Amino acid sequence: MSNKEHFGSKIGAVAALAGSAIGLGNIWKFPYLTGENGGAAFILIYIACICFIGIPIMLAEFSIGRRGGKDVYGTFKTLAPKTKWCAFSIITVCTSAIILSYYGTIAGWTMHYMCISFTDAFQNATPASVEQLFNDFTSNPYHPLIWQMLFMVVTAAVILGGVKNGIERSSKVMMPILFIILIILCFRSLTINEHSIEGLIFLFKPNLDVVSAKTFLAAMGQAFFSLSVGMGVIMTYGAYVKKHENIHQMSYQVVISDTAVAILAGVAILPATFAFGMAPNAGPGLVFLTLPQVFAQMPLGQFWSFIFFLLLVLAALTSSISLLEVTVAYLINELKMKRATATILTTVVITIIGVFTTLAFGPLKHITLFGMNLFDIMDYTASNILLPLGGMLICYFAGWVLGKESLRDEITNGNKLKITLFGFYFFIMRYVAPVVILLLMLNGMGVFNN
């Protein structure tokens, strides 16, 4: 028996899927990766990764999910009975739990920054003062924990509402607001002063000198993370999409909106950064250390700061709910738990893991492995090992286990739709993606370092 719950409308399904894809990865990570990796050249490579690997994987995961029609475990049990494929669902559940635990840390920070926007926290900000503010907050043993927990409670509240009334309804409200805020911020950023344009040039004029193997790998890893592929999220949501919907078209809509938001986030952030003479390569601190200084120099800076961090909170929330739903769906379907019990249990466990990642910037700072703190270890394990592993297995499953005909049947709704590039996608799923991802993963583990 497949899922009883479904998305009520196509637009709601696309909003939920795009909501999962669009997140901190687009607005926090993409602009700083672009800044660190030489601007436009990185964007071009990123778009190539999206087109040649991202779309086929999205389509593979989406098709598997809808065909199986259940949580990740149930889907593999249905599509590949009496094999070990169900064990793969354990990896996806762990990956989503790990990502959500540290996602909650950063999301908690953004909630805090949103709330302090209206205080005088950023007034007369200098590089030293914002750094002090950031360090004091993130290393405090209580404050970031309270924000992380608050964020997890809000995430759980949405999931408690179920697929239609929780995930779909909230995404349909939050996604349009997110787009509107982003467009307004782009206009603001571009019209600050004559130096804004330098940010645009940086974003759109490729400087190929800075491209190295590292750039390709950074772009590919980011494409995976940003599209939410490789950990069962798209599979779980795919199971909630009705059989008559066109999943090929929906995949495109999700991928295009995700990429558009990443680029628009660059337009909202980098011209403002250039306008006030700041460097674009501040790394992960770009949003928390550089932007508060930008807002401090802008008329109505408190308002713009609030709007910007609100944007981040909304983006984080539509992604975190999808991460939570992977495990919740598993517990509901496989262990026959009630949604409420499953949600509370999962939230408590993930929040407890998240306590360690949050405290990794304060009291637990000294716990390190290979020079990484607990937060970095989680991020590293998820992004460099588990995510690519998941993506590789999904492509392998689509290409070799599910097979061409079943896949075609699912994507074309039983030959009712015509999909021109199907042969190309299938070739990538079967041969190209598993190999490319394996290389990415080995590199992520440092195998090629010397």
Question: Which residues of this chain interact with ligand PHE, rule CB under 6 A?
Answer: 20-21, 23-26, 99, 225-226, 228, 231, 233, 319, 322-323
Q: Mark 185-195 as b/e (b = at least 16 C-beta within 10 Å).
A: bbebbbebeee
CB atoms within 10 A of CB 126: 10
Number of residues that this document lists for the chain:
450
Nearest approach, Cβ of residue 79 and ligand PHE (Å): 21
- Beta carbon of residue 238, minimum distance to ligand PHE (angstroms, whole number): 13
- For the bound state, the minimum distance from the C-beta of residue 104 to ligand PHE, rounded and expressed in Å, comes to 12
| Token output for 236 | 């779980």
Of 165, 170, 149, the residue nearest 19 (C-alpha)? 170
96 φ/ψ angles, rounded to the nearest 5 degrees = -65, -35
Query: In whole angstroms, what is the distance from residue 419 CA to residue 424 CA?
Result: 10
User: Measured from the CB atom, is 95 or 351 closer to ligand PHE?
Assistant: 95
Closest distance to ligand PHE from the beta carbon of 300 (Å): 28
Q: Which is nearer to ligand PHE, 29 or 339 (CB)?
A: 29
Separation of alpha carbons 156 and 316, rounded Å: 13
Question: In angstroms, what is the minimal distance from the CB of 228 to ligand PHE?
Answer: 4
End-to-end CA distance of the chain: 51
Q: Whole-number minimum distance, CB 354 to ligand PHE, in Å? A: 15
Strand 372-373 and strand 368-369: pairing? antiparallel
Q: How far is the CB of 406 from ligand PHE (least distance, A)?
A: 25
Report the candidate in 221, 225, 158 with the shortest Cα–Cα distance to residue 15. 158
Q: What is the dihedral of CA 183, 188, 193, 197, to 10 degrees?
A: -10
Q: Which is nearer to ligand PHE, 231 or 310 (CB)?
A: 231
DSSP letter at 209? G
Q: Judged by CB, which is closer to ligand PHE: 234, or 272?
A: 234
Nearer to ligand PHE, 92 or 117 (CB): 92
CB of 113 within 8 A of CB of 288? yes
Choice between 21 and 40, CB closer to ligand PHE: 21
- Rounded to a whole number of angstroms, the minimum distance from the CB of residue 229 to ligand PHE is 8
Please name the amino acid found at residue 141: P
Nearer to ligand PHE, 27 or 296 (CB): 27
CB nearer to ligand PHE: give 121 or 223.
Answer: 223
- The residue (of 321 and 360) whose beta carbon lies closer to ligand PHE is 321
Residues 6+ apart with CB under 8 A from 186: 264, 267, 268
Q: How far is the CB of 52 from ligand PHE (least distance, A)?
A: 19
From residue 199, alpha-carbon distances to 10, 262, 282, 410 in Å are 37, 15, 14, 44
| CB 319, CB 228: distance < 8 Å | yes
Q: How far is the CB of 309 from ligand PHE (least distance, A)?
A: 15
Q: Which is nearer to ligand PHE, 12 or 362 (CB)?
A: 12
Closest distance of CB 376 from ligand PHE, Å = 17
Could you give the C-alpha distances from 47 to 215, 225, 416, in angstroms and in order?
12, 14, 30
- φ/ψ (deg, to 5) at 418: -105, 125
Query: Which residue type occupies 74?
Result: G
Distance CA(114)–CA(295), nearest Å, equals 12
Whole-number Å distance between alpha carbons of 400 and 411 = 16
Judge whether 75 and 239 are in contact, CB under 8 Å: yes
Q: Which is nearer to ligand PHE, 101 or 228 (CB)?
A: 228
